[in-house]
Chain A
Amino acid sequence: MSTQSGIKQGVSLYSFQEEYFLRKLSLEDCIRTAASVGATGIESIAEQMMPGFPKLSDAFYEQWQGWMQTYGTTPTAHDAMLDTKKYKGRLLTDDECMVEFERDLKHAARLGCKVVRVLCMVSPEIMIKAVPIAEKYDVKMGIEVHAPYYFDHPWIMRHLEAAARLGTKHYGLVPDMGIFTKRLPRVARDRMLRQGATPKILDFVSESYEAGVLSEYTIFEARKMGGNALDVAWAEQCRHSVYTNPKRLTEFMPYIFHIHAKFYEMLDDGTEYSIPYDKIIPALKAGNYQGYLSSEYEGNRHIQDAFPVDSVEQVRRQHAMFRRLLAA
Chain B
Amino acid sequence: MFDRYMIVENTLRNVTRDGRAVGFEFGARIAYYRGLGLSMVEGLEVTVDGEKVPADRLRFGVGGRTFTLAEMENEFDARWEFGDVATVTVLRDGGLPPGEHRIELIEHLRVSYMPFPLQGRDAKTVAAR
Contact = CB atoms under 8 A, between A and B. Distances in A.
A14 B113 contact: no
A301 B82 contact: no
A48 B33 contact: yes
Interface residues of B, number: 24
The A interface is mostly helix, strand or loop, or mixed, namely loop
A86 B83 contact: no
Contacts of B37: 83, 86
Given A48-B35, A48-B82, A49-B82, A119 B29 contact: no
A305 B39 contact: no
Interface string B1-17: 11011000000000000
Interface in A151-176: none
B113 A86 contact: no
B40 interface: yes
B69 to A, nearest CB: 11
Nearest to A304: B4
Interface string B27-61: 00100011111011010000000000000000000
Interface string B87-129: 0000000000000000000000011110000000000000000
Looking at B5, B76, B79, B113, which has the most chain A CB atoms within 10 Å of its CB?
B113
Contacts of A86: 37, 39-40, 76
A321 interface: no
Interface string A13-34: 0100100111100000000000
A22 B1 contact: no
Nearest to B113: A121
B35 A88 contact: no
A47 B35 contact: yes
Contacts of B2: 21, 301
A48 B34 contact: yes
Given A21-B2, A21-B5, A305-B4, A88 B39 contact: yes
Interface of B: 1-2, 4-5, 29, 33-37, 39-40, 42, 73, 76, 79, 81-84, 110-113
Given A20-B82, A22-B5, 18 more contacts: A14-B33, A21-B83, A47-B36, A48-B33, A48-B82, A49-B82, A83-B36, A83-B112, A84-B112, A85-B40, A85-B110, A85-B111, A86-B37, A86-B76, A88-B39, A88-B42, A120-B113, A301-B2
